[in-house]
Structure 1
């Protein structure tokens, strides 16, 4: 008996649904999982997981208060999520090179790392207090003419410089937008070395916020502190850095695990 046309069409659609479900919903995923377990692919397919994290995703080595644990090498900053290194919120800060917020973050991080490592944390365009060395400069004719007023944008206390172009520098008032009032925002380079002791990757986050690596320069900066905290020979710590350096990057998790193994 010949089936009605509408019923034949529905049965054909049902058969196609069942076939595609088996092929694409079951067979294909199982084949891909099997391929991912082949030698040379398994580690990457599984996320390079180790007992304390992943070699491919960065993490913080801090205590519950966010304070760096001195016996461990520290990762680079992260803007992914509220506490950083959140794979569900991978992102950069989206702050541009002229952002005062970015400059303040960089200055604060550099100062904190300098204190942690016992080195000079100063860098160009940063004050000794760890904020951006930025002035709001008012001129008689807007962008031209004699300077009539100068404000230290990031400081409500004593300004980092006393005068600018012959005018006394004022402290900032909380919540005041000096640029909206017509000031020219002027960064001041200061006398910090052109090549800061604290490297750039120590004070800036990666584009993804999940970078598991640091530069050899940042690792070398941390080596004396880690050796001291672990009562190790600093030469041995440097050997471990070399062993966990891949190209131009040092994997922080692998390096810290190697330290724990001794």
Structure 2
């Protein structure tokens, strides 16, 4: 007896569902679990966890902060790159800040808790802090000396053209000092909280300043990764921190550089990506070989 066409179609769909369930819902996951038990892969399948004195301290695959209870960097440790994942390196909130190159003007609210720094100001503040921590020049182009974006709101008589009528340093508020005193003959004033100067007709005008073209603080020290969980820093950022770490641990900088080199991973397959340094692995090696006094 020939089955009705609609019933044949439903039975075929049911058979397809059962086959795919067995293949993709059972066989494939079990195959991956089995592969994870193979020598050389079992550690990664288990999360690449790292231990110190018998205690799990983190994963080689996930970044973490090396700060004290107040959030300040612990000087004896190499510092990771910034993170925009939750409150920092939160695996449940992996994400970037979604701020782009045009994010140069801070939102300065009357209530400071509601203020939001632009990407430019975040980069400037981080570069200043990294420079101070490591004793190097933390200046960057388009940053003020006090670590915010060097951006002016320029008002002109004709809107986009015409003589300048007013100039405001939009990312600086009292008691700061404007990073430039005048612009095209007009005195520069400080921003007032709660005022949107761009909506009022001001033109956002970043000012480069006299910072070196090649900042001493490398990019990965001031910009978060796309995931916010990157466990690596660049060799350049690691080398920047060598002198501080060696001083805090009372050891020879050359020995610390050797450890950095030993924990530097080259390009994948020899040509993909850039060399990187795993921060947690490096800090654990420091604690084993050069404990702080």
The TM-score, its normalising length taken from structure 2, stands at 0.80
Corresponding residue of 1:55:
60
2:282 aligned to 251, 255, 261, which one? Answer: 255
For residues 67-108 of structure 1, give each alpha carbon's deviation from its aligned partner in whole angstroms, at most 9, with x where no partner exists.
111110000000001x21111111000001110200010000
- For 1:257 and 1:72, locate their aligned partners in 2 and report how far apart those are by CA, in whole Å: 9
For residues 94-140 of structure 1, give each alpha carbon's deviation from its aligned partner in whole angstroms, at most 9, with x where no partner exists.
00111020001000001111111111111100000000000000001
- For 1:87 and 1:187, locate their aligned partners in 2 and report how far apart those are by CA, in whole Å: 35
Corresponding residue of 1:4:
none
Instruction: Indicate whether 1:172 and 2:191 are aligned.
Output: yes
What SS does the aligned partner of 2:161 have?
coil
Aligned CA distance change for structure 1 residues 119 and 23 (closer, same or farther; 3 Å): closer
For residues 203-257 of structure 1, give each alpha carbon's deviation from its aligned partner in whole angstroms, at most 9, with x where no partner exists.
0000010111001110000000000000010000000000000011111011101
The TM-score, its normalising length taken from structure 1, stands at 0.89
Corresponding residue of 2:222:
203
Aligned CA distance change for structure 1 residues 92 and 20 (closer, same or farther; 3 Å): closer
Corresponding residue of 1:66:
71
- For 2:265 and 2:233, locate their aligned partners in 1 and report how far apart those are by CA, in whole Å: 10
Aligned CA distance change for structure 1 residues 137 and 47 (closer, same or farther; 3 Å): same
Corresponding residue of 2:34:
34
Aligned CA distance change for structure 1 residues 176 and 36 (closer, same or farther; 3 Å): same
Gaps of 5+ in 1: 1-15
Instruction: Indicate whether 1:227 and 2:263 are aligned.
Output: no
Give the C-alpha shift of residue 49 in structure 1. Answer: 1.1
Aligned CA distance change for structure 1 residues 245 and 143 (closer, same or farther; 3 Å): same
What SS does the aligned partner of 1:123 have?
coil
- For 1:237 and 1:59, locate their aligned partners in 2 and report how far apart those are by CA, in whole Å: 20
- For 1:161 and 1:252, locate their aligned partners in 2 and report how far apart those are by CA, in whole Å: 39
Give the C-alpha shift of residue 17 in structure 1. Answer: 10
